[in-house]
Amino acid sequence: MSLTLLYIGRHTPTIEKLGNYQGFHLILEESGFHAFSRLKATKICPDAILAESNLPGARVTDVMNHLRPLFSEPVPFILISDGYNREDAVKWLKEEIQDAYTTEPDVEKLEKRILYLKTHFKKDNYSKMAFAEYKTPLIKRTFDILAAGTALLLISPLLLLIIIAIRIESRGKVYYTSKRVGTGYRIFNFYKLRSMSTGADAKLKDLKHLNQYASDQTETEAECSECARLGHACSPVLYIENQQICERQYLKIKKEKNSAAFIKIKDDPRITRVGKFIRNTSIDELPQLINIIKGDMSVVGNRPLPLYEAELLTSDQWVLRFLAPAGLTGLWQTKKRGKGKMSDDERKGLDNKYALNYSILRDLQIILMTIPALFQKENV
């Protein structure tokens, strides 16, 4: 069954591309006024509205706000633009526009995106979900405080002994603080007992060849041949580390290089002897009980990620993991711990699965599964 799209604008190549695609039934109007008149008269509710960002005589957000009251349920509103930067994208999201594409978008990807928006944002629009602060359910928050507070009281003698051992073996602070990205891309200070020698972060770039999630491949050129042929971006433009790249080329580079978002180094030489013990037993994670009491995390959820990992997980199929609570333990830790190499796609897939299905009963099951996982050989 084809999707009904209302297209507002005059860009002939884009109109022809959308009109020739079998998955779309296209309704054309040149202006927001004509679109409003037609929708009001016909009572049509399209599956999505695509509007050019430079409509004559009106701001595209005004057109959007004028059309939305006509519908009984949310309709995705997508911009078509000759080009845009990161600031434009952020502004449009805040103005409750669901997505933006350059002219002549990839129609198959656009179809999948619209189906995704229709499935996941029935009750609320995309921008409200993306920018609203996540509210932990009361029963989950109550359990987190009771569990974390009780655990801290019970393990305080053990923590004291470990702290002394860390201080004896090497100089520096006994705890480690890093910036992590949790629910809704919120950044917070993440606490761990120090398991590495001081200055470990500075040595990371020299050890990337040992990353378990990466493989050695020939580096692909960042310039897209299809963009060069067309004279404009062939797919949505991404901004990664202040560099502009089309989504098609980014995915191609990632596939060919198997570049991993996650970093995990086997037999990491930066780990101390005490550090190896507290990692294998997950004792180094215990200060995160403080994060739980503060409300940064939950007992069960998706692991909060370092900034360099989170900034790579912005494509549509992976942002879902950030709609779940951040947690001390989670689904992928119990499923994959001790079972050897795990791809980043497997890990992110388990994160998404939890985001879609988490509940207090499922949390209790994961906690019970975590206990035997702690005694398995490989640390996660």
Predicted local confidence at residue 146, as pLDDT: 95
As a whole number, mean pLDDT of residues 206-234 equals 60
227 closest CA partner among 246, 213, 254 = 246
The answer to whether 324 touches 318, Cβ cutoff 8 Å, is no
At 255, list the tokens: 């596939």
| pTM, 2 dp | 0.51
At 287, list the tokens: 């200060």
The answer to whether 37 touches 8, Cβ cutoff 8 Å, is no
| Domains defined for the chain, CATH in brackets | 3-131 (3.40.50.2300), 138-214+260-373 (no CATH), 225-257 (no CATH)
The answer to whether 122 touches 154, Cβ cutoff 8 Å, is no
194-216: b or e for each residue (b if 16 or more CB lie within 10 Å)? bbbbeebeeeeeeeeeebbbbee
The CA distance from 328 to 300, in Å, is 6
The answer to whether 348 touches 356, Cβ cutoff 8 Å, is no
Q: How sure is the predictor about 184, in pLDDT bands with cuts at 50, 70 and 90?
A: confident
Q: Where are the extended beta strands (E) located within 168-225?
A: 175-181, 187-193
Predicted local confidence at residue 337, as pLDDT: 56
Average pLDDT in the chain:
77
First-to-last alpha carbon distance for the chain, in angstroms, is: 44
